Structure 1
Amino acid sequence: MEKRMFVCPKCGHYGFVQDQFQATGGTLTKMFDIQNKKFITISCERCGFTEIYREETTMGSNILDFLIGG
């Protein structure tokens, strides 16, 4: 994710922590535990307020995720 100026909308602090997580989508992906949804999180260092942004996944990364078991 491109680094940009961050200002927390709750407390006005400039420091943040970036992280990511993956989640399952529909019924089949839940059944086979395929995490085909990827998200980036930006959290304020001071108050913990977190914004979540969806990141596009590719077919290759979804297949690799399935093969290595998530």
Structure 2
Amino acid sequence: MEKKQYICPKCGCTEYEDDQFQATGGTLAKMFDVQNKKFITISCARCGYTELYKGQTTTGMNILDFLTS
């Protein structure tokens, strides 16, 4: 992922860390523990302020998650 210019809205720091996580969506996804929602996180390196951005999941990744859960 290409690093973009970042300025923390809380403390003004320009350094950050990016990461991602997946979570379950609706009732069926929760019942079968399928993590079909993907989020990108951007966290300030100084104060830890974190912003979440909705990411894209693929059908293949959803099937793989279902088969391995």
Deviation at 1:2, TM superposition (A): 3.7
CA distance in 2, matches of 1:3, 1:13: 15
User: If the length of structure 1 is used for normalisation, what is the TM-score?
Assistant: 0.92
Aligned positions, number: 69
CA distance in 2, matches of 1:51, 1:62: 24
List gaps (5 residues or longer) in structure 2.
Answer: none
Deviation at 1:19, TM superposition (A): 1.1
Deviation at 1:67, TM superposition (A): 1.0
Task: Tell me the equivalent position of 2:14.
Answer: 14
- RMSD (Å), alpha carbons: 0.9
Task: Tell me the equivalent position of 1:67.
Answer: 67
- Residue identity matched to 1:63: I
Task: Tell me the equivalent position of 1:38.
Answer: 38
Which stretches of structure 1, 4 residues or longer, exceed 2 Å deviation after superposition? none
CA distance in 2, matches of 1:4, 1:65: 30
